[in-house]
Amino acid sequence: MSVKDIIFIKDDSFSDYLSDWFRLPSTYVYHMNDRIRTPLYQIRKVHLSNKLERYLRLPAKGIWFDTGKLKPVVGADSRFVFISDVIMCMKKEFWEKLDRDFPQVPKVLIIMDSMHAHSFCIRYIRESLKSVNWNLVLSYDLDDCREFGFQYLGLTYYSDFPVLQENLPVTSDLFFVGMHKDKGEQRDQVIYEIYRRCREQKLRCDFTLFRGNPGEMPEGMQGRRLPYAEVLRRVRESNCILEMVQSGQTRQSIRYFEAVTMDRKLLTNNPNVRELPYYDPERMKIFSSPEEIDPDWIREPMAEGYHYQGEFSSAHISKTIDRYL
pLDDT(296) > 90: yes
CB 240 within 8 A of CB 211: no
Question: What gap in Å lies between CA 265 and CA 274, rounded to an integer?
Answer: 14
Q: What is the pLDDT of residues 261-271, one digit of tens each?
A: 899 999 999 99
CB 73 within 8 A of CB 3: yes
Of 181, 183, 241, 252, residue with least CA distance to 207: 241
CB 168 within 8 A of CB 225: no
| pTM tops 0.85, yes or no | no
pLDDT for res 183: 56
Question: What gap in Å lies between CA 21 and CA 315, rounded to an integer?
Answer: 4
Domain with 82, as residue range(s), is 3-160+314-324
Q: What is the pLDDT of residues 153-164, one digit of tens each?
A: 988 877 767 766
Same domain, 187 and 284: yes
- Percent with pLDDT over 70 in the chain: 93
pLDDT(90) > 70: yes
Q: Which amino acid is at 3?
A: V
Of 300, 299, 263, 255, residue with least CA distance to 280: 263
Residue 239 placed within a domain: yes
pLDDT(272) > 60: yes
Which DSSP string do the residues of 250-310 spell out, in sequence order? -S--HHHHHHHHTT-EEEES-GGGGGSTT--TTTEEE-SSGGG--HHHHHSPPSS-----S
Name the DSSP letter for residue 178. Answer: E
Same domain, 319 and 186: no
pLDDT for res 182: 55
Q: How many domains does the chain have?
A: 2
Q: Which residue has the higher pLDDT, 149 or 12?
A: 149
Q: Which residue has the higher pLDDT, 57 or 222?
A: 222
Residue 193 placed within a domain: yes
Average pLDDT over residues 160-183: 81
Q: Which residue has the higher pLDDT, 120 or 104?
A: 104
Same domain, 154 and 292: no
pLDDT for res 2: 84
Of 13, 20, 7, residue with least CA distance to 313: 20
Question: What gap in Å lies between CA 4 and CA 101, rounded to an integer?
Answer: 17
Residue 90 placed within a domain: yes
Residue 102 placed within a domain: yes
Same domain, 98 and 121: yes
Report the range out of 54-68, 167-181, 183-197, 208-222 with the highest average pLDDT: 167-181
pLDDT(190) > 60: yes
Same domain, 32 and 94: yes
Residue 305 placed within a domain: no
Average pLDDT over residues 177-186: 72
Q: Would you place residue 205 in the very low, low, confident or very high pLDDT band (cuts 50, 70, 90)?
A: very high
Question: What gap in Å lies between CA 141 and CA 252, rounded to an integer?
Answer: 8
pLDDT(148) > 80: yes
pLDDT(251) > 60: yes
pLDDT(222) > 60: yes
Same domain, 68 and 205: no
Same domain, 242 and 106: no
Lowest-confidence range among 157-166, 208-217, 230-239, 314-323? 157-166
Same domain, 154 and 172: no
pLDDT for res 104: 96
Question: What gap in Å lies between CA 315 and CA 98, rounded to an integer?
Answer: 26
First to last CA, the chain: 22
Residue 304 placed within a domain: no
Same domain, 39 and 129: yes
Sign of CA dihedral 283, 286, 292, 298: positive
Same domain, 70 and 131: yes
Q: What is the CATH number of the domain that holds 51?
A: 3.40.50
Q: Which residue has the higher pLDDT, 65 or 268?
A: 268
pLDDT for res 37: 57
pLDDT for res 35: 57
Q: What is the CATH number of the domain that holds 191?
A: 3.40.50.2000
Same domain, 128 and 182: no
pLDDT for res 237: 95
Residue 308 placed within a domain: no
Average pLDDT over residues 21-27: 94
CB 86 within 8 A of CB 221: no
Residue 307 placed within a domain: no
pLDDT(72) > 80: yes
Same domain, 243 and 112: no
pLDDT(192) > 90: yes
Q: Coil, strand or helix: which one is 130?
A: helix
pLDDT for res 36: 55
